[in-house]
């Protein structure tokens, strides 16, 4: 259930509607395209509610995004769970224009909950993931994973003053 029937709220029969659903990002969808090096093979779980608060409506949702990818520095596999919670104002297409990004728009008395959820995932999902904050990455010469220890290559970060000294001594 990703399109929420808003009739109970629009008609005033109810002040609050809850929803929960899970989904897999579409293979050629926006998320899979933008995060092409991320594997979203576990379902994304969404729970939340829509509330009518004396004339203005909000959507509140919590999203759990399990993911598998590889470290942007050392290429080791990394998996994690992105936890998001967000709120967004809701309006009918009579009240605001459809390209107003500040609102989630109700169309035909239905609210597409998936759309704002996907947008929020794109806002909060980092474009690069590291296995740990201080990952040392791979040696650019021999390819050794420097988290496992130093390699015997000459370090590429040579102090420029030392480099001048070296040439002078030759």
Residues in the site for Zn ion, rule: CB under 5 A? 71, 73-74, 131, 135, 139, 141-142, 151, 153
Choose among 22, 92, 20, 19: nearest CA to 50: 19
Lookup: tokens for 63: 């999203």
Residue number with CB closer to Zn ion (79 or 85): 79
- Min. distance of Cβ 67 from Zn ion in angstroms? 15
Q: How far is the CB of 127 from Zn ion (least distance, A)?
A: 15
- Give me the least distance between CB of 138 and Zn ion, in Å please: 8
Take residue 65 and report the two structure tokens written for it: 């995004």
**Cα atoms in the Cβ-side hemisphere of radius 13 Å centred on 80:** 16
Q: Which is nearer to Zn ion, 110 or 141 (CB)?
A: 141
What's the CA angle centered on 11, arms 62 and 49, to 5 degrees?
5
Residue 39 Cβ, how far from Zn ion at the closest point, in Å? 17
Q: Quick one: 42 or 76, whose CB is closer to Zn ion?
A: 76
Give the residue among 56, 66, 45 at the shortest CA–CA distance from 129.
66
* 90 vs 135, beta carbon nearer Zn ion: 135
Which residues partner with 52 through β-bridges?
57
Give 29 or 143: the residue with its C-beta nearer to Zn ion: 143
Question: Shortest CA distance to 140 belongs to which of 130, 131, 149, 153?
Answer: 153
Neighbours of 56 (CB within 10 A): 11
Smallest separation (angstroms) from Zn ion to the CB of 124: 21
């Amino acid at each position: 259930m990703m399109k929420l029937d808003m009739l109970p709220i629009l008609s005033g029969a109810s002040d609050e509607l809850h929803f929960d659903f899970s989904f897999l990002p579409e293979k050629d969808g926006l998320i899979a395209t933008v995060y092409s090096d991320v594997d979203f093979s576990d379902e994304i779980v969404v729970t939340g509610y829509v509330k009518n608060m004396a004339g203005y409506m909000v959507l509140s949702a919590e999203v759990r995004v399990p993911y598998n990818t590889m470290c942007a520095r050392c290429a080791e596999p990394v998996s994690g769970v992105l936890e998001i919670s967000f709120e967004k104002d809701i309006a009918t297409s009579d009240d605001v224009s459809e390209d107003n990004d500040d609102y989630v728009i109700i169309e035909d008395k239905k609210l597409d909950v998936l759309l704002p959820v996907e947008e929020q995932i794109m806002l909060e999902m980092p474009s690069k993931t590291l296995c740990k904050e201080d990952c040392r990455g791979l040696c650019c010469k021999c390819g050794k994973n420097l988290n496992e220890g130093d390699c015997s290559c000459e370090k590429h970060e040579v102090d420029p003053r030392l480099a001048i000294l070296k040439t002078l001594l030759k």
